[in-house]
Amino acid sequence: MPSFVQRSEIEVAPRELHDWHMRPGAFERLTPAWAGLRRVACPPSIEHGGRVRLELRFGPLRLAWHSRYEVDLGHEFRDVLERGPMKRWIHAHRFLDAPHGGALLEDAIDYELPFGALGRLVARRRVERHLERLFAHRHAVTRADLERHAARRNAAPLRVALSGSTGLVGSALASFLTTGAHTVHPLVRRAPRPGTREIGLDPATDRTDASGLAQCDAVVHLAGESIAAGRWTAAKKRRIRDSRVEGTRRLCEALAALPRPPRVLVSASAIGFYGERGDERLDEESMPGEGFLSDTCRSWEAATEPAEQAGIRVVRLRLGVVLAAGGGALARMLGAFSCGIGGRVGGGRQWMSWIALDDVVGAIHFVLFEPTLTGPVNLVAPEAARNAAFTETLARVLRRPAVLPLPAPLVRAALGEMGQDLLLASTRVEPRKLAAAGFRFAHPSLENALRFELGVPG
């Protein structure tokens, strides 16, 4: 019977490693977008006898995967397949003492492919390669997340109100925080669902659950209309601006009115603040640019002033291009580049200030606990890349050519102002304040970030 084992030593106590895996959010942290695995139903926590339903995707195929948990509390738990595409599958997660201190994480899988000898001949090597790729990623995430949580283990767990909790960054952040024993309260426009930690906050009706906000130690505000979905008509621009400016202002007024406001507000902004700047190196002291995005970002950041005046530490995160396989700019590029029909945009000399999704999550966590950080903070990797270099690197990681450029006139004709500002503008931003505060990027190089996000070994 085939088997697979992956072991890694991690510098935490075995119990810490165990507890991280048992908390809500661990499945999401350990399941990259490229794995083709979606959770359909599961218990709120890992318990002996609990049953899980997953959906496994192979191209157009959707396969059901039903398993149950067997738990040896404090030492290991197992996923045992009850119904699915494998004839047998037992996955043991073990948390052991490492020989020289710390913990040994062991993932051991005993499995049997369907269709006997034919199944082994056709699929065994493919399954092995997938498991090697997946568990290398999982162990890297586990180690990095536990290191970040361990750096703040002496601080009390936070109660964090989070807007945009279902978005690309928000969902990853919520999973990360809950595995670190923090409590996440999603901010929602609709009425909160009974029995959940949701907090109602609807800028359109001025309905605010002040009692829910008063329970929180911190607020992370990420909500806003997508700027990359379609041309910027007058109505679209109004939605983009209002969702950010009015939504932020209403939230900050609600926080300022609390008798016990949260200690910190981390509010999203964007490097669009700087506008088109050519080769100029930009940090948090740089002046704003011109145009719709710059004007919107300035008003967006100014909308946090009621919270600042109430004594709340306010951090305005100027986000760059977030690289993630599951959404955003990189996910939109993958179709063309995977088919070998990608290429530079325009002349390719414009600077792209990017950051890996996991470093966005790690930086927000860092900012929540770092009292020296206030005001604007650039959330980008240490080195921006010209568009031509970015596309060459992505093509190399995917082992595809990048020979079909997208001419600037075509971008402007198809996408108008949105294409000009998001694809053709040059913004070379540096994370000066994060670096000065001691934040360590897990993925400072572009190729490393792309390989990690796409699960492609070096």
| 356 bridge partner residues | 323
102 torsion bin: left (phi>0), alpha (psi -120 to 50), beta (else): left
322 torsion bin: left (phi>0), alpha (psi -120 to 50), beta (else): beta
Please state, in angstroms and as integers, the Cα–Cα distance from residue 338 to each residue in 301, 385, 447, following that order: 38, 20, 16
For 421, the token pair is 């500002």
What are phi and psi for residue 152, nearest 5 degrees? -120, 25
Rounded Cα gap, residues 306 and 257, in angstroms: 9
Rounded Cα gap, residues 130 and 132, in angstroms: 5
Rounded Cα gap, residues 455 and 393, in angstroms: 15
Instruction: Report whether 378 contacts 343 (CB < 8 A).
Output: no
Please state, in angstroms and as integers, the Cα–Cα distance from residue 87 to each residue in 110, 132, 165, following that order: 11, 20, 37
Rounded Cα gap, residues 364 and 174, in angstroms: 11
For 228, the token pair is 């990359």
Instruction: Report whether 97 contacts 9 (CB < 8 A).
Output: no
Instruction: Report whether 284 contacts 316 (CB < 8 A).
Output: no
* DSSP characters over 8-50: EEESS-HHHHHHHHHSTTHHHHH--GGG-EEEEE--SS--TT-
Each residue's pLDDT, cut to its tens digit, for the chain (458 residues) gives 678 999 999 999 999 999 999 999 999 999 999 998 998 888 877 888 999 999 998 778 899 999 999 998 778 999 999 999 999 999 999 999 999 899 999 999 999 998 887 767 777 888 899 999 999 999 999 999 999 999 999 999 999 999 999 999 999 999 999 999 999 999 998 888 887 888 988 766 667 777 889 889 999 999 988 898 888 999 999 999 999 999 999 999 999 999 999 999 999 999 999 999 999 999 999 999 999 999 999 999 999 999 999 999 999 999 999 999 999 999 999 999 999 999 999 999 999 999 999 999 999 999 999 999 999 999 999 999 999 999 999 999 999 999 899 999 999 998 899 999 999 999 999 999 999 999 999 999 999 999 999 999 87
Q: Check residue 203 and give its pLDDT.
A: 66
Rounded Cα gap, residues 107 and 7, in angstroms: 7
Rounded Cα gap, residues 300 and 309, in angstroms: 16
| pTM (2 d.p.) | 0.95
Neighbours of 276 (CB within 10 A): 18
Neighbours of 158 (CB within 10 A): 21
Rounded Cα gap, residues 361 and 115, in angstroms: 43
Rounded Cα gap, residues 31 and 168, in angstroms: 14
All structural domains of the chain: 3-150 (3.30.530.20), 159-454 (3.40.50.720)
What are phi and psi for residue 193, nearest 5 degrees? -75, 135
Rounded Cα gap, residues 96 and 106, in angstroms: 8
Secondary structure letter of residue 193 according to DSSP: P
Rounded Cα gap, residues 431 and 97, in angstroms: 38
Rounded Cα gap, residues 143 and 148, in angstroms: 9
Output the CA angle 385-386-389, nearest 5 degrees.
Answer: 85
Q: Check residue 47 and give its pLDDT.
A: 87
